[in-house]
Structure 1
């Protein structure tokens, strides 16, 4: 009879700190498993061990782990490589193999699962620590890269959409005008023939056509460069333009985007570049908001006010979201936000992230920067 799960599992260490890495040790020799967990505890990890394939799969499906240390030779119907194959299909968890065997056939099977390491028993605590640290670090780097690529791809998609919209706006607006005129004629005909059903359909056609026209207008407006030159600009207008550009995405995803515009003067800037800053940061806020499991209550706020700093006046822009905590640490160092930082630096401003308020902040000087 198979023992209960709690009898097959031992937890070493605590998880009081959110940055403590959790490691699952899959090892059917209890003494070895306890020894590995104790070693990991000494290095500050939280370690759990299980002794068979079913328990390993159950833990991985129901709990969060940053790394799996997998013994290849396990008692039971599945070995460690087969378990790792299952993990790879459903989870992005790095795996390090533990084995006393290093034959070519075993290594070739293990390679197919793309492990993050391979420790030959017996190994010392230092080798274990280095392998664990390198695997977790490599996994985080790969996640960062995937995140950056995803965000860059989405930004490029929007740029392409805006460019296409600008190029075909004339061709789209012409037939839309004809459709609206025909809808008006149908409405008049419906009134003459006392056909309310026909009138309702005509009104629906007109409503949808106007909605399409508005979408095209917003995309074209955003894609057109307001100016490549420095000038005094209305940040409130730039913020509203950016929100309008993202409106259809917010509507589809159930995100409420509020704008709080204080009484602020014009700012000397490059308007199109500031649009890009707002787009990038609102994009980041949108990603965070969409991590909420519930679709109700998703919200972001863009606030604008004048502040005094270092004896001079600045405009402070806050982009606040109510999303879940970002799972990828060090997001402010990602390449997807490097352009944003560069633009703010060019404008002699500052940019930072405050996780306590779940907000991005950036400042812009009011006067012409020297």
Structure 2
């Protein structure tokens, strides 16, 4: 047993050490549990009262709480777990000497990650803790994936809706702009400065709406589903324009550095999808920054050579927090992105040091 525990501790990186709070009013039991957890490589601490438990959970980060159901004081472990569930995403395992149906049914309402019936041995404790932490991480990952898939579906819906309603929007917008012009002429004739300002504001906002619709329609239209020599600069500009309003709202500066690159033989709409997926990933990463100032995405185009062949290289760099749980590498969109690039005989890599996506497309000269 000692060798097993020692190897676990040695193989566990210091940065991966999980922090566990033990809530147990029997001091000897709490000390023994913490000692066992530390032997398995966890960072464990304990409290014996409900208020101390709530205070610790509010002020510190924990990966797991081991909660005794029967505690001395005004609140029992189930009530504390209920408070944790409402305010934090921390898995809870109940420790109890009571396994009656009424207690279990009441505890179920807090959706615990397991139960340990006292007395339990160190191996049972270790397995329960490992499984609870793993299950919690999987659930968080699933929520992230669902959120990202919903985001992708939103873009698809926006594109379809934009194409369908553009005519319905542009007709009344044209009328509004014409009326604004008439009001502006009337304001000039009567020297009404207030009316003039309002007419100009109406025209300005109408133009802005028209531009948004134009960008959406332009991006959603299938420019060419066939293979053709395409201008990556234009495709990239279209993608940035499509996301422009979101960048403005979120304070993101998106810079484009265009090198002298030739047209690429590709399917333009699929390359648009690749760029959208990767820039969306960069957008999510920069939005993890605590400060809203200085959020930046840089996209560069250049020509690179390898093994006597030339490629167009597209680098999408961001200055966001590196959170892989937020990253495209954790979701199904990466498979789609990679398959499109592979279909184009290109390559995609993630450079963590520079926080960049880099993909290449071969330069094929016309016959």
Q: What TM-score comes out, normalization by structure 2 length?
A: 0.92
Q: What does residue 320 of structure 2 align with?
A: 323
Match of 1:280 among 270, 277, 282: 277
SS at match of 2:16: coil
* Displacement of 1:275: 0.9
SS at match of 2:75: coil
Q: What does residue 3 of structure 2 align with?
A: none
Task: Out of 196-205 and 340-349, give the one that drifted further.
Answer: 340-349
Asked if 1:207 corresponds to 2:201, the answer is: no
SS at match of 1:165: helix
Compared with structure 1, are the counterparts of its residues 40 and 316 closer, same or farther at alpha carbon in structure 2 (3 Å cutoff)?
Answer: farther
Question: 1:184-222: per-residue Cα shift (whole Å, max 9, x none)?
Answer: 122122222122221111111110110000000000001
Asked if 1:355 corresponds to 2:352, the answer is: yes
Question: 1:290-324: per-residue Cα shift (whole Å, max 9, x none)?
Answer: 11222211111112222223432222222112222
Any residues of structure 2 matched to 1:1-370 within 5 Å, and which?
17-326=14-323, 328=325, 332-367=329-364
Indicate if the aligned counterparts of 2:252 and 2:294 stay in contact, CA closer than 8 A. Answer: yes
Question: 1:80-115: per-residue Cα shift (whole Å, max 9, x none)?
Answer: 111111111111111111112211111111111111
* Displacement of 1:331: 5.3
Compared with structure 1, are the counterparts of its residues 330 and 196 closer, same or farther at alpha carbon in structure 2 (3 Å cutoff)?
Answer: closer
Indicate if the aligned counterparts of 1:289 and 1:324 stay in contact, CA closer than 8 A. Answer: yes
SS at match of 2:14: coil
CA–CA distance in structure 1, aligned partners of residues 48 and 330 of structure 2: 39
Compared with structure 1, are the counterparts of its residues 330 and 183 closer, same or farther at alpha carbon in structure 2 (3 Å cutoff)?
Answer: closer
* Displacement of 1:59: 1.6
CA–CA distance in structure 1, aligned partners of residues 307 and 54 of structure 2: 57
CA–CA distance in structure 2, aligned partners of residues 259 and 18 of structure 1: 36
Q: What is the count of residue pairs matched by the alignment?
A: 355
Which ranges of structure 1 fall in alignment gaps of 5 or more residues? 1-14
Question: 1:150-187: per-residue Cα shift (whole Å, max 9, x none)?
Answer: 11112211221221111111121111111111111221
Indicate if the aligned counterparts of 1:148 and 1:336 stay in contact, CA closer than 8 A. Answer: no
Compared with structure 1, are the counterparts of its residues 303 and 17 closer, same or farther at alpha carbon in structure 2 (3 Å cutoff)?
Answer: farther
CA–CA distance in structure 2, aligned partners of residues 352 and 24 of structure 1: 39
SS at match of 2:22: strand
CA–CA distance in structure 2, aligned partners of residues 228 and 292 of structure 1: 37
Q: What TM-score comes out, normalization by structure 1 length?
A: 0.91
Indicate if the aligned counterparts of 1:25 and 1:70 stay in contact, CA closer than 8 A. Answer: yes
SS at match of 2:21: strand
CA–CA distance in structure 2, aligned partners of residues 362 and 232 of structure 1: 18
